[in-house]
């Protein structure tokens, strides 16, 4: 039976039924999503450096894109992949790609097909006009697909891409792919960008960058955000995008607003709601403490 002293207003402020929290969160997220407005996105240097690095590469350079995520992280990481791929193809850079997560190949394939579609239209980004172009598999990009044991694959590719991947995802031998002419290993890559929702990132840092010394940039989920800052400051990672915020910043830098910028307003208002509940809980906690002290309990 509930005691009278436990049902005072302050106690209730501390123990709101979680279903109310869930309901309010749904209402806030859905409302923020459908109301058309934008929030300003401030750019952090660790995101800007990736954009600048790619933007200043000479045409024909090859970027290695490691797409190591599954549909669970799609909302946060797909926008990074899309913005980055579009920037590469518009600048006539070539892309090599692996997906070292079992569900990664479908993510990568969808991104390549969608961005190839987008490149068929004239676009202007950051005031620069980019005419429509055809993005061709094997010429503009080479998708190697999935292989188990990421550490071994990363090490193997350091010797020769043909060791772990004799053929690409579609079964074409690498020696028959135009993009692969003269391409042996990471030495021919301008940089590696790992977009990941898994611990595969650690393999890219330890076995990839650590052993072969290529420039490495990371795009990770929000919950992994704080995890990899030490590698940014140590110089092992030259650029870093974390979560939806990182994706939104990249979209803004690329002048290619997509789902991340839309999602940022939802995330901001969800954060406001969480802060509101934290304040309610703390006010209840302190007032209850004060009341008990006054009553001499």
Partner 1 sequence: MKRQIPVFLVFIFGVFMVFQYFSPHEASEWVYKFLMDWIYIIGIFAMALGIWSLIHVSYDKIKHKRHDWGYSVVTLAALFIMTFFGITGFNENGDWGFYFMTQEGLTNPMFLNFFNYILVPIETTMFSLLAFFIASAAYRAFRARNVLASMLLVSALIVMLRFNPYFGDAFAFYMNKTAAWLLNVPNMAAKRAILIGIGLGMVGTALKVVLGIERGYMGKG
Q: Around Cβ 196, how many Cβ atoms within 10 Å?
A: 27
Q: Total binding residues for partner 1 by CB under 8 A?
A: 53
Of the candidates 245, 247, 254, 263, which one interacts with partner 1 according to CB under 8 A? 245
Q: Which residues inside 117-146 make contact with partner 1, applying CB under 8 A?
A: none
Nearest to 46 by CA among 255, 202, 241: 241
Q: How far is the CB of 37 from partner 1 (least distance, A)?
A: 11
Q: 57 with 87: CB under 8 angstroms?
A: no
Beta carbon of residue 54, minimum distance to partner 1 (angstroms, whole number): 23
Contact set for partner 1, span 271-290 (CB under 8 A): 271, 273-275, 277-278, 280-282, 285-286
Q: Which helix (H) or strand (E) holds 123?
A: strand 123-125
- Kindly indicate which of the ranges 79-87, 91-99, 156-164, 252-260 contains the residues binding partner 1, using the contact rule CB under 8 A: 156-164
CA pair distance 186, 199, nearest whole angstrom? 21
What is the number of residues in the chain?
Answer: 297
Nearest distance in Å: CB 63, partner 1: 24
State which residue, 44 or 55, has the beta carbon closest to partner 1.
44
Q: Minimum distance from CB of 170 to partner 1 (Å)?
A: 6
Strand partners of residue 112: none
Does residue 11 belong to the site contacting partner 1 (CB under 8 A)?
A: no
Residue number, 178 or 272, with CB nearest to partner 1: 272
Of 201, 162, 165, nearest to 182 by C-alpha is 162
Q: Specify burial of residue 55 (Cβ count, 10 A radius: 0-12, 13-18, 19+).
A: middle
- Do residues 68 and 195 make contact, with C-beta atoms less than 8 angstroms apart? yes
Which CB sits closer to partner 1, 121 or 184?
A: 184
> Does 42 contact partner 1 by CB under 8 A?
yes
Measured CA to CA in angstroms, residue 287 lies from 15, 173, 268 at distances of 14, 71, 28
SS percent in the chain: helix, strand, coil, step 5: 55, 15, 30
The reply to whether 262 sits near partner 1 by the rule CB under 8 A is no
Contact stretch for partner 1 (CB under 8 A) within 39-47, 48-56, 113-121, 184-192? 39-47
Nearer CB in complex with partner 1: 88/97? 97
Q: Does 22 bind partner 1 (CB under 8 A)?
A: yes
Residues 6+ apart with CB under 8 A from 292: none
Residues of this chain that interact with partner 1 (CB under 8 A) are 14, 16, 18, 21-22, 25, 29, 39-42, 44, 70-75, 103, 105-106, 148-149, 152, 155-156, 159, 163, 169-171, 223, 225-227, 229-230, 233, 245, 264, 268, 270-271, 273-275, 277-278, 280-282, 285-286
């Amino acid at each position: 039976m509930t005691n009278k002293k436990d049902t005072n207003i302050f106690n209730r402020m501390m123990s709101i039924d979680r279903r109310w929290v869930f309901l309010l969160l749904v209402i806030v997220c859905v409302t923020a999503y459908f109301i058309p407005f934008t929030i300003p996105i401030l750019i952090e240097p660790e995101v800007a450096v990736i954009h600048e690095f790619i933007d200043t590469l000479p045409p024909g350079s090859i970027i290695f894109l490691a797409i190591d995520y599954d549909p669970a992280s799609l909302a946060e990481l797909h926008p990074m992949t899309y913005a980055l791929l579009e920037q590469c193809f518009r600048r006539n850079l070539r892309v090599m790609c692996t997906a070292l997560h079992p569900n990664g190949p479908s993510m990568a394939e969808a991104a390549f097909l969608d961005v190839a579609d987008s490149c068929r239209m004239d676009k202007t980004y950051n005031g620069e006009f980019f005419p429509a172009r055809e993005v061709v598999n094997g010429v503009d990009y080479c998708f190697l697909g999935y292989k188990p044991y990421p550490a071994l694959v990363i090490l193997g590719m350091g010797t020769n891409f043909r060791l772990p991947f004799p053929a690409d995802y579609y079964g074409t031998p690498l020696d028959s792919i135009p993009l692969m002419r003269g391409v042996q290993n990471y030495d021919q890559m301008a940089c590696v960008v790992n977009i990941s929702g898994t611990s595969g990132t650690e393999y890219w840092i330890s076995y990839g960058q650590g052993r072969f010394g290529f420039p490495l940039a990371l795009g990770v989920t929000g919950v992994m955000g704080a995890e990899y800052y030490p590698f940014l400051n140590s110089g092992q990672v030259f650029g870093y995008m974390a979560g939806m915020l990182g994706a939104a910043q990249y979209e803004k830098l690329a002048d290619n607003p997509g789902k991340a910028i839309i999602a940022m307003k939802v995330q901001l208002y969800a954060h406001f709601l969480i802060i509101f509940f934290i304040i309610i809980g703390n006010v209840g906690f302190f007032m209850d403490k004060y009341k008990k002290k006054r009553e001499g309990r």
